A and B are shown apart, each in its own frame.
Chain A
Amino acid sequence: MEIPYIVTPRKDTGLTNSKIAIWLFLASEVMLFGGFFSAYVFLRIGADYPWPERTLPVLPGLINTFVLIGSSVTVVFAWASLKLRNWRKFQLYMGITVACAAIFMVLKGVEYSVKFSHQAVRLTDYTVLEGHLGYELKEGADSHHPKAEDYEKDHNGNKIEENRIRVETSALTFNTLRFYKPWIADLLDQAKHHGDAKITLTGDIKGIKTEGGKEEVLFKAGTPLSVDLLEEIQSLHLAARSHNSALRTAASRVEWDKALAANPDKQGWELSSEVNVDMEALKPRFLTEIQSVPFKVEPATRFIFKPRDIREAATQSRLRDDTVVDGKLLESPMVFHNLDAIDFQHLVMKAEEKGIDPQIAIQNSWIMKNSEFARKAWEWHNKKVEALEKRLIADYGFEADGKTPKREPTHKERYRLGWKELAKMAEDGGMAKLSFADKMKEEFMGPNYAARTEKTFPHLSVPREQIGFASKFAPAWNTYYAIYFTITGLHGLHVVGGALVLAYYLFFGRKMYDANPEWLANRVEVGGLFWHFVDLVWIFVFPILYLM
């Protein structure tokens, strides 16, 4: 079948159909990205925490902007080369365009991966700490010089971060319907390895299995935990539940029929108060539903959970599958192998809301009371802020009233100690000197812990009860990162999609070029229009997300 109007324009519009189509698509794309930018503004003006201003690495963003602008020029050159019937030059320019797309995605990938491995935690006093977590070592391993085989591994063979919840478990109660099978195996495994403990049924489970039957012992106390056992209980529970609800429904139907027969002139909804099912009469016919199954752990044993799987509390915790874990919460600190930022902005915001002096709130924070390093860093930082304050007054003077300085340090400059400040502090103290190459690498990959060592970025163990909220720098951390990943992720998908189309013309366009070069030129123009649009979106993304 021949597609009409893809080389010659239609008479009424004066355009090829493909061009109309791409502009319709671009108009819808404008609305899509426009929606997300509006969402960004909404989130920012509605944020109840200090918005992370100018927080992303500028250099990779800047390079990516150059790369996209450059590729926009080369794609239009590629189109011009086709118009001039120069296949070689078309290949060259299109090749550069596709290579630019690849560079863009690599830089974006580096940016993302740095975020996904960078830990943030908001303490209960609203101090925010950032850094890298350490990894769990096997028991008895040398913690100062761990070898590769000293690290504990999870079932995927990955190292496990020092951020786990430990509970001295004496009892487990499973939800019959919601228990998660793989966790049962894991719990049994932990019980075996952490103390050779037995997990057994706490008491006899008694119940009625058949209608009108006698209550009997269904499962004996002391039966060991297994998936099969839980599944058997689950199937009994489900059978009982459907049996009982069928009884209730049948009884209810009988009552409704009676009520309707007695009141032929009334509507159903007028009768609902007259329909009463006698549950007591039904009870002897019910089967026993087993909602939950209690097990005891003997002897009480340390179980370890991932923070995301458990809602921990001092004596009773709950897993995500509704399993209740009875037992004392053991020390379960979050251990920063390298702490690279101390941020009081949120704490100060909360203090100011309550009318508390920010400096007093900071002095009373957990980190200032418990970390010598934080106190030293804060003292150093305050001197810097003071110097900045003085310099700004010297440079810009006061407002007309003679009291208010024209320029003052920002909230962020006052209350945030980022990794660059900590690095500066260590360098001022003559502790670490990095080569230019290492410093450039930091611009892309974030703080270099290996080169700067724990003298710059110290170890810190945060007790579990101090932790308010913890996350990697992922969409979950705050609404800024949520919208950042949404917009840049969507834009990245557009880059990939556009590059695929352009690469198709580059590698498979020769046949079309030989058959009808104008056809390929039109296609490249349409692909190019999309590519320019991707560039156009980035022109807004870069200043808004990276510089504002």
Chain B
Amino acid sequence: MADTPEAIKKATRLYLIIGGALFVGTVLTVLVATVEALDIGRHGFDMADCILGLIIATVKASLVAVIFMHLNHEKKAIYWIFGSGLVFVSFMAALIALAKGDPQEDPLFYDGRPALEEKAAEESAPPVEAAPAEVAPTTAAQP
């Protein structure tokens, strides 16, 4: 960490540059979202805009974390602490993948499925009456 007066003076210049970069990044975020000429992908908001916006935001956030929060030269313990927080967050975010099978994504979930099942039942051969199996009593009979 910058501890000598010279190093700190040098670091303040870096802070100003990073501050400027964050301002530029913010303007860029707004421009790509509002100016048609800079709109990537389809017209209006879409996945491409989402990814681009998140990339800019992540770069900005990394600058804050690395330079302002001094993560570029920090002790090991801090990396472990913060890193484990990030691991849990990514695990939580990964749970979103479970939403793939949600009813909203399955048009047959509410209305179609019973009909499909009925149809399948009709098509399959009438069920063969299974002979009642001799099931051995699981518990010994009480006298």
Complex Cα distance A413/B3, Å? 55
Residues of A within 8 A of B11 (CB): 80
**A461: Cβ under 8 A from any B Cβ:** no
Q: Is the CB of B9 within 8 A of A84?
A: yes
How many contacting A-B pairs (Cβ < 8 A)? Answer: 151
Q: Is the CB of A413 within 8 A of B85?
A: no
Q: Is the CB of A27 within 8 A of B33?
A: no
Task: From A14, A65, A73, A543, give the contact of B75 (CB < 8 A).
Answer: A14
Residues of B within 8 A of A413 (CB): 44
Name the segment of A36-44, A188-196, A445-453 touching the other chain: A36-44
Task: From A23, A35, A62, A529, give the contact of B26 (CB < 8 A).
Answer: A62
Residues of A within 8 A of B92 (CB): 31, 34-35, 38
Residues of A within 8 A of B76 (CB): 14
Residues of A within 8 A of B18 (CB): 73
Q: Contacts A20-B81, A410-B44; is A69 near B57 (CB within 8 Å)?
A: no
A2-26 CB contact bits vs B (8 Å, 1 = yes)? 0000000000011100011001101
Q: Contacts A27-B85, A34-B93, A542-B29; is A15 near B77 (CB within 8 Å)?
A: yes
Residues of B within 8 A of A24 (CB): 81
Q: Is the CB of A13 within 8 A of B77?
A: yes
Residues of B within 8 A of A41 (CB): 93, 96
**A441: Cβ under 8 A from any B Cβ:** no
Residues of B within 8 A of A409 (CB): 43-44
Name the segment of A129-137, A244-252, A465-473, A533-541 touching the other chain: A533-541
Q: Contacts A26-B85, A529-B69; is A539 near B45 (CB within 8 Å)?
A: no
Q: Contacts A38-B95, A73-B19, A410-B44; is A27 near B84 (CB within 8 Å)?
A: yes
Complex Cα distance A412/B46, Å? 13
Q: How large is the interface on B (under 10, 10 to 19, 20 to 34, 35 or more residues)?
A: 35 or more
Residues of A within 8 A of B53 (CB): 543-544, 547-548
Please report whether the interface of chain A is mostly helix, strand, loop or mixed according to DSSP.
helix
Task: From B64, B78, B93, give the contact of A532 (CB < 8 A).
Answer: B64
Residues of A within 8 A of B9 (CB): 80, 84
**A28: Cβ under 8 A from any B Cβ:** yes
Chain A, range 30-73, C-beta contacts under 8 Å to B: 30-31, 34-35, 37-38, 41-42, 45-46, 48, 53-54, 58, 62, 65-66, 69-70, 72-73
**B127: Cβ under 8 A from any A Cβ:** no
Q: Is the CB of B30 within 8 A of A547?
A: yes
Q: Is the CB of B12 within 8 A of A532?
A: no
Q: Is the CB of A547 within 8 A of B29?
A: yes
Q: Which of A41, A76, A77 has the most CB of B within 10 A?
A: A76
Complex Cα distance A23/B85, Å? 10
Residues of B within 8 A of A35 (CB): 89, 92
Q: Is the CB of A80 within 8 A of B44?
A: no
**A83: Cβ under 8 A from any B Cβ:** yes
Q: Is the CB of B81 within 8 A of A23?
A: yes
Complex Cα distance A23/B86, Å? 12
A404-426 CB contact bits vs B (8 Å, 1 = yes)? 00011110110000000000000
**B126: Cβ under 8 A from any A Cβ:** no
Q: Is the CB of A410 within 8 A of B64?
A: no
Q: Which of A53, A412, A540 has the most CB of B within 10 A?
A: A540
Chain A residue at smallest Cβ distance from B60: A539
**A99: Cβ under 8 A from any B Cβ:** no
**A392: Cβ under 8 A from any B Cβ:** yes
Q: Is the CB of A536 within 8 A of B78?
A: no
Q: Is the CB of A77 within 8 A of B57?
A: no
Q: Is the CB of B89 within 8 A of A34?
A: yes
Chain B residue at smallest Cβ distance from A408: B43
**B104: Cβ under 8 A from any A Cβ:** yes
Q: Is the CB of B44 within 8 A of A30?
A: no
Complex Cα distance A542/B27, Å? 12
Q: Is the CB of A77 within 8 A of B15?
A: yes
Complex Cα distance A396/B11, Å? 47
Q: Is the CB of A410 within 8 A of B75?
A: no
Task: From A46, A72, A83, A396, give the contact of B64 (CB < 8 A).
Answer: A72
- Closest chain-A Cβ to B119's Cβ sits at a distance in Å of 21
Chain B, range 14-54, C-beta contacts under 8 Å to A: 15-16, 18-19, 22-23, 26, 29-30, 33-34, 42-45, 49-50, 53-54
- Closest chain-A Cβ to B24's Cβ sits at a distance in Å of 10
What 9 A-B pairs are tightest by C-beta distance, nearest first? A27-B85, A34-B89, A410-B44, A407-B43, A73-B19, A547-B33, A30-B85, A543-B53, A69-B22
- 28 CB contacts below 8 A, A to B, read A15-B75, A15-B78, A19-B78, A27-B85, A28-B85, A30-B89, A35-B89, A38-B92, A45-B104, A46-B99, A46-B104, A62-B26, A69-B22, A72-B22, A72-B64, A72-B68, A77-B15, A80-B8, A80-B11, A80-B12, A396-B43, A408-B42, A409-B43, A536-B61, A536-B64, A539-B60, A548-B33, A548-B50
